[in-house]
């Protein structure tokens, strides 16, 4: 075999290796893209959410009956917000502690603190059934979502939104009722053999009940 033929063989061999490398990289990129796609989903309005939130999104109208009217929820809010029917039942029970209220036209003449308002699920229902609500949230973006959601439901004027830590603010606040639905750490609790007050992500169990 001549020198020219050997050089041509080496060139052909190098080109074949390069093609294989390009093909492998392309396949790897495609696989990574497929994996990324399988780890998220896109809602009809174009919002991209982690795949594990899909079951919550499917129940969006259970969380907020007026979801399609501009409700805002962040990732933590999806698994933290109270379903609307439960939030309303809680609000009715609180309102009836002070008066036997049967209809929304007769607001309970009480002030309620929602110590951890999140995106406003409980806050909204408390405002529908009570005269005044003080909604406290430590995350500024989540607080603005709660304000937006209260406006969707037409109760924002009965809510005082406060950015801050409830435990620091508590000594300065005055109300008839304090409603507490504290952050509980998320869906990972399903992997714990025991989940109690001491498993909460912040503050001690005694602080929750004090």
The C-alpha R_g of the chain, in whole angstroms, comes to: 27
Per-residue pLDDT in tens (0 to 9) along the chain, 210 residues: 555 555 565 555 656 556 666 665 555 544 444 444 468 878 777 778 888 888 888 899 999 999 999 999 998 898 889 999 999 999 999 988 876 655 555 566 889 999 999 999 999 999 999 999 999 999 999 999 999 999 999 999 999 999 999 989 999 999 999 999 876 555 555 555 665 656 555 554 445 445
Tokens of 165: 């830590």
Tokens of 6: 């050997």
State if pTM tops 0.75.
no
Q: HSE-up of 72 (CA within 13 Å, CB side)?
A: 14
User: Which residues have CB under 8 Å from 22's CB, separation 6+?
Assistant: none
């Amino acid at each position: 075999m001549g020198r020219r033929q050997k050089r041509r063989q080496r060139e052909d061999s190098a080109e074949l290796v390069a093609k294989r490398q390009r093909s492998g990289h392309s396949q790897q990129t495609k696989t990574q893209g497929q994996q990324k796609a399988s780890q998220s989903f896109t809602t009809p309005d174009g919002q991209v959410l982690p795949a594990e939130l899909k079951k919550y999104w499917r129940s969006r109208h259970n969380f907020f009956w007026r979801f399609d009217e501009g409700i805002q929820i962040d990732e933590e809010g999806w698994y933290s917000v109270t379903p609307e029917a439960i939030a309303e039942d809680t609000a009715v029970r609180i309102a009836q502690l002070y008066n036997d209220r049967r209809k929304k036209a007769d607001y309970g003449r009480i002030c309620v603190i929602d110590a951890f308002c999140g995106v406003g699920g409980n806050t909204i229902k408390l405002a529908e059934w009570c005269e005044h609500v003080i909604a406290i949230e430590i995350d500024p973006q989540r607080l603005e979502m709660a304000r937006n959601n209260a406006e969707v439901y037409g109760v924002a004027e009965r809510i005082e939104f406060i950015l801050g830590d409830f435990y620091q603010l508590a000594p300065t606040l005055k109300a008839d009722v304090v409603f507490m639905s504290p952050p509980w750490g998320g869906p990972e609790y399903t992997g714990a053999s025991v989940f109690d007050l001491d498993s909460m992500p912040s503050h001690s169990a005694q602080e929750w009940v004090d």
